[in-house]
Amino acid sequence: MRLAPSPTGTLHIGTARTAVFNWLFARHQGGQFLLRIEDTDKERSKPEYTANILEGLQWLGLNWDGEPVVQSERIAEHRAAIQQLLASGHAYRCYATEAELTEMRERQAAENRAPRYDNRHRDLTPEQEQAFIAEGREATIRFRIDDNATITWSDLVRGEMRWSGADLGGDMVIARRAPADQIGDPLYNLVVVVDDAAMAITHVIRGEDHIANTAKQLLLYTALGAPAPVFAHTPLILNQEGRKLSKRDGVTSVSDFRAQGYTAEALANYMTLLGWSPPEGMGERFSLAEAAAVFNFDRVNRAGARFDWDKLNWLNSQVLHERSAAELLGDLQPLWTSQGWTADASWLEQLCTLLGPSLVTLQDGLEQARPFFERPELDGAAQQQLASDGARPALAALLERLPDGPLSADAAQALLTDAVAAAGVKKGVLMKTLRAALLGSLQGPDLLTTWLLLQPSGEARQRIARCL
C-alpha cells in the first residue's frame, strides 16, 4: 500500500481519506504503508507543502513505514524504463509540434469528436525521422496504445472493470518534449508505474478520478514486464450539492480542519466513514485501530460520499467529551496561551472539567473560556436582569456575606440561601443575577462552578461589585 501525494498544495481531505483507507487496509493485512512524494512538477511542488502533508498525516495518526520515497530522485530509473520501452518498440518519438497538435484538436472539436492523438508519428520511416530532426524539431515520447486492446481488472471496490484501448486518447505521451537525442521529463503514468513496481506495491488504493489512468498504467505494466498490483478506486468526496469537494467549498485541507478546532481522532474517524460502512453493531464512533481490525473493501461504497458537517461535529464533540480534564487541557492550553491566558494547572483543569461537556470544537474552548480570563462586558439581557425587581438587593446581600479566598460548594450554597432570605427574593432571581454579574450574559456553563473558579482570585467579588 502507498500514498503518493503531489506536494503542490496542502494535505487535501480527499488525499487524507485515501491515506486513511490505505493505512486501514495495510494495518488490517499486516502489510506496509509506504509514502511517495510525487514532486516531479518542479514549478508547482514546494517543500512547505511536503512538510504540511507529512505533518498532517502524522497528526492524524497515519504513520507510514520507512522513509518517504522522493520521486524526483528516481528520474534515472524513469528514464531507463522509457529507454526500455523505446528499445522494445512499445514507445516511439513523436515530432508533432504544439501548433500541429492544436490544429488537430481544433479540427476534432469542430467535427464534434473527442480529442485524441491521431497516432500520426507511430510508424515513421527512418528517413521521415531524419527529416524532422534535420528541421530541428524536438520530440515527445509516446507509448503505443492499441485501439483494439481490452483492458480488464478486478477492482476491490468497483468489481470487474473493462476499458477499451480506443477510449484512452491515442498513443500516450510518457516524456515531455525535448531535443530528439534526449529523453524529456518523464510523465505521471509512466513514473507511477515504475515507482510502484520498484516499491513492490501490491495494492493501489486511490480515488476513482484515477480510473482512466489505471487502464493506461496496466498497459505499461505489461509492456515493462512488471506484475500489476491490485487496484481499489474509492468514491470521491462530494460537497452538500453533490459535486466533487473543491477549494471553493472553503475548508478542505487537513490543516484548516485542525485550525478550526477539530481533533485528529474525530477527523480520522469521520474520513473513515466517508465511503466505508462499519459492520453492524460497531457504531460510528471508533478509533483508527478499531476500524483497522475489521476493515475491508466489501464495505466501501461505490457512490460518492457527501460531506456531512453535522456528523463531523457530532464525532468531534464525542471525542472531546471522552477526554479527561488533563487531556483536554493539553489540547486547549496552546490556544489559551496564545491569548496570554495563564493560571495554575489545577485551576485550568477545573475549567476544562467545566467546559468540556459543552464543546463541539476546540475553538469553542477558546470562546467559552474567554470570560474566565477577561472580564466580560454585560450584554443586553444581563443588563436587563440587573435592572429587574430585587436583583441588585439580592446581589448586595450576597456581596455583604462574601468572604475572600476559595469557597467550597457547600459554603457557596449556604451563602446563596442566606442572601436570598435577607433580600426577600426567590433563589432564582439571585442565581440569574449572579450569572449576569459573573459572565456578563445569561448563558454559560454551570453557575456554581463558575463562581467557585472566579472566587479565589477575588474576581467574583469585583464582578459583583461593579454591578452595584
Quick check: 155 binds ligand GLU (CB under 6 A)? no
Work out whether 52 is an interface residue with ligand GLU (CB under 6 A): no
Query: How far apart, in Å, do the first and last CA atoms of the chain sit?
Result: 68
Strand partners, 150: 164
* Strand (E) or helix (H) holding 139: strand 138-143
Shortest separation between residue 206's beta carbon and ligand GLU, angstroms? 4
Nearest to 64 by CA among 35, 24, 37: 35
**Cell numbers describing residue 74:** 528516481
Whether 247 is catalytic is: yes
Of residues 36 and 463, the one with the C-beta less far from ligand GLU: 36
The secondary structure of 97-163 as a DSSP string is -HHHHHHHHHHHHHTTPPP----TTTT--HHHHHHHHHTT-EEEEEE---TT-EEEEEETTTEEEEE
Specify the 3-state DSSP secondary structure of 227.
Answer: coil
In the complex with ligand GLU, which residue's Cβ is closer, 170 or 207?
207
Cα separation, 166 vs 171, in Å, equals 10
Q: Does residue 38 belong to the site contacting ligand GLU (CB under 6 A)?
A: yes
Residue of 418, 462, 13, 45 whose CA lies nearest to 256: 13
Q: Does 191 bind ligand GLU (CB under 6 A)?
A: no
Place of cell 528499445: 87
Spatial separation of the C-alpha atoms in residues 264 and 425, rounded to whole Å: 49
What dihedral do alpha carbons 351, 356, 362, 367 form, nearest 10°? -50
Mark the segment that binds ligand GLU (CB under 6 A) among 1-9, 178-186, 286-294, 391-399: 1-9
Q: What are phi and psi of 237, to 5 degrees?
A: -90, 125
> Is residue 355 within the footprint of ligand GLU (CB under 6 A)?
no
Among 4, 173, 228, 273, binds ligand GLU (CB under 6 A): 4
**165 and 145 in contact (C-beta within 8 Å)?**
yes
Which among 318, 391, 329, 333 is positioned nearest to 354, based on CA atoms?
329
Complex with ligand GLU: residue 5 or 304, whichever CB lies closer: 5
Per-residue x/- track, 208-227, ligand GLU (CB under 6 A): --x-----------------
Q: How far is CA 426 from the centre of its chain?
A: 52
- Residue 9 Cβ vs ligand GLU, minimum distance, rounded to whole Å: 10
DSSP bridge partners of 352: none
Residue appearing with cell numbers 505499461: 220
- Could you tell me the smallest distance in angstroms from the CB atom of residue 12 to ligand GLU? 9
Closest approach of ligand GLU to the CB of residue 183, in Å: 21
Q: Find the shortest distance in angstroms from Cβ 209 to ligand GLU.
A: 8
| Smallest separation (angstroms) from ligand GLU to the CB of 38 | 4
State yes or no: residue 206 binds ligand GLU (CB under 6 A): yes
Q: What angle do CA 238, 32, 38 make, to 5 degrees?
A: 55
Binding part of the chain for ligand GLU, among 4-12, 77-85, 242-250, 278-286 by CB under 6 A, reads 4-12
Nearer to ligand GLU, 206 or 432 (CB): 206
Q: Is 415 in the site for ligand GLU (CB under 6 A)?
A: no
Candidates 3-11, 138-146, 280-288, 394-402; binding stretch for ligand GLU (CB under 6 A): 3-11
Q: How many residues bind ligand GLU (CB under 6 A)?
A: 7
CA distance 412 to 454: 12
Q: Name the residue nearer to ligand GLU (CB basis): 62 or 266.
A: 62
Min separation Cβ 342 and ligand GLU, Å: 43
When the beta carbons of 67 and 135 are compared against ligand GLU, the nearer one is: 67
Catalytic residue among 42, 46, 247, 426, which? 247
**Between residues 6 and 253, which has the closer beta carbon with respect to ligand GLU?**
6
Residues 143, 175 contacting (CB under 8 angstroms): no
Cβ 31 to ligand GLU, closest distance in Å? 16
- Interface with ligand GLU, residue 6, by CB under 6 A: yes
Rounded Cα distance, 47 and 52, in Å: 9
Q: Is residue 192 close enough to count as binding ligand GLU by CB under 6 A?
A: yes
Question: Which residue lies nearer to ligand GLU by CB, 219 or 402?
Answer: 219
Q: How far is the CB of 24 from ligand GLU (least distance, A)?
A: 16
Nearer to ligand GLU, 121 or 233 (CB): 233
C-alpha distances out from residue 9 to 198, 210, 223, Å: 26, 18, 33
- Assess 5 for contact with ligand GLU (CB under 6 A): yes
Are 396 and 468 in contact by the 8 Å Cβ rule? The answer is yes
Sketch the per residue contact string, 359 through 378, with ligand GLU: x for CB under 6 A, - otherwise: --------------------
Its sign, for the CA torsion 144, 148, 149, 152, is positive
Per CB under 6 A, residues contacting ligand GLU are 4-6, 38, 192, 206, 210
* Catalytic annotation, residues: 247
